[in-house]
């Protein structure tokens, strides 16, 4: 330790470089966070949002790993306090200056103080240095505090300090609509935002070709038994057997099969039209909207989400930002184990790279220790 009257040593050039790189990754992290908050959920392609999310996670891992490195290498309090101040003010670059941002910055400052002092204490207390073990010191708490800061900033972004409920509902509607548009292609075959509602419903109904695949009858049956089995299948589908040329199917020739499929398709047109109309009316009734069937599917989804958000959420618009912020925190918190593994992995790679490049070294020190003896 330095004497009370000793002059403080100047900052190490390497420590300045490490600190500067830490600030760069902190800036990248908060920039990407601001992008996701401003419109990440409204991106039209899942690839764009996924790419930004992955980049955010990597930037966060590098930021925390470098922060741990600075905490280990800092030997003076003024070095750590300087780092705390610089890291904490970075969000002011990307978020507006108001009370919510200040609150988030204070949370970040607390997280930075605890982490820098904890990793430094852990490094000095260990007999055999291990960056992997050092970086784990209070890592879960640090991540939790930063997630709280992110959620706080998200609250400020969504609520705009509570001055514009319509903007809150617009943000919620846009996010919900985009999520629905991304889930539907995974659930329904042939989904496209540009097709009409009726065409989308029609795609979900079986056509003659699909139905013929299920029209297999036991070849050992005689012709009359096959006819009875086929007529029963048609009745199950709601088709009158008298309106279809069953003999064409029983003849089992290519031309006869084509004639049977053509006649079956003709019957199915009216049945499908009725099913489409009934399904559309049921959807309109369930979601309390008006559907003609000619709307683009994307417009219909937007109409449904907007109608129901206004009906169900508008009376509680003031509480929506807080609910969304809490939901975001708990959603992110579920993946804490992933953040920890990634930070420790990135930190170990960083440490090994710096050692290989002779930027940092391991030194052995002899220390005095007190022992109680007889």
- At residue 196, the 3 state secondary structure works out as strand
Highest mean pLDDT among 104-108, 200-204, 263-267: 104-108
Q: 175-191, pLDDT tens digit by residue?
A: 677 777 777 776 776 67
pLDDT of residue 111: 94
- pLDDT of 141 over the 70 cut: yes
Largest CA distance in the chain: 112
Write down the number of H helices and E strands in the chain. Answer: 15, 0
Q: How confident is the model at residue 257 (pLDDT cuts 50, 70, 90)?
A: low
Q: What does the pLDDT average to over 121-136?
A: 83
pLDDT of residue 315: 67
pLDDT of residue 85: 93
pTM of the predicted model as reported, rounded to 2 decimal places: 0.63
Q: What does the pLDDT average to over 196-215?
A: 69
Q: How far is CA 182 from the centre of its chain?
A: 12
- pLDDT of 86 over the 50 cut: yes
Nearest to 107 by CA among 158, 142, 57: 142
Low-confidence winner among 29-38, 83-92, 204-213, 335-344 (lowest mean pLDDT): 204-213
């Amino acid at each position: 330790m330095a004497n009370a009257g000793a002059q403080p040593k100047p900052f190490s050039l390497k420590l300045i470089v490490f600190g500067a790189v830490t600030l760069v990754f902190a800036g990248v992290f908060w920039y990407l966070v601001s992008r996701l908050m401003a419109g990440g959920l409204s991106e039209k392609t899942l690839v764009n949002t996924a790419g930004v999310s992955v980049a955010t996670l990597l930037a966060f891992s590098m930021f925390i790993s470098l922060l741990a490195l600075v905490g280990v290498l800092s030997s003076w309090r003024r070095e750590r306090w300087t780092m705390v101040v610089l890291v904490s003010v970075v969000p002011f670059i990307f978020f507006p200056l108001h009370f919510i941002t200040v609150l988030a910055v204070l949370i970040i400052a607390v997280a930075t103080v605890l982490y820098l002092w904890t990793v430094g204490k852990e490094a000095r207390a260990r007999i055999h240095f291990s960056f992997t073990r050092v970086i784990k010191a209070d890592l879960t708490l640090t991540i939790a505090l930063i997630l709280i800061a992110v959620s706080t900033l998200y609250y400020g972004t969504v609520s705009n300090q509570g001055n514009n409920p319509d903007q809150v509902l617009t943000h919620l509607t846009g996010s919900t609509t985009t999520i629905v548009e991304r889930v539907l292609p995974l659930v329904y075959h042939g989904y496209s935002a540009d097709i009409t509602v009726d065409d989308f419903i029609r795609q979900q109904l079986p056509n003659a070709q699909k139905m013929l695949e299920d029209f297999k009858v036991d070849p050992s049956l005689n012709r009359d038994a096959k006819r009875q089995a086929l007529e029963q299948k048609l009745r199950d589908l709601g088709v009158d057997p008298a309106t279809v040329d069953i003999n064409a199917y029983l003849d089992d020739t290519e031309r006869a099969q084509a004639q049977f499929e053509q006649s079956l398709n003709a019957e199915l047109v009216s049945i499908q039209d009725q099913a489409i109309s009934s399904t559309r009316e049921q959807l309109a009734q369930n979601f309390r909207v008006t559907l003609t069937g000619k709307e683009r599917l994307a417009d219909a989804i937007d109409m449904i989400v907007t109608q129901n958000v206004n009906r169900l959420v508008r009376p509680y618009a003031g509480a929506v930002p807080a609910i969304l912020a809490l939901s975001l925190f708990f959603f992110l918190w579920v993946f804490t184990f992933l953040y920890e593994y990634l930070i420790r992995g990135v930190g170990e790679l960083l440490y090994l790279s710096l050692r290989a490049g002779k930027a940092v070294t391991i030194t052995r020190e002899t220390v005095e220790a007190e022992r109680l003896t007889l």
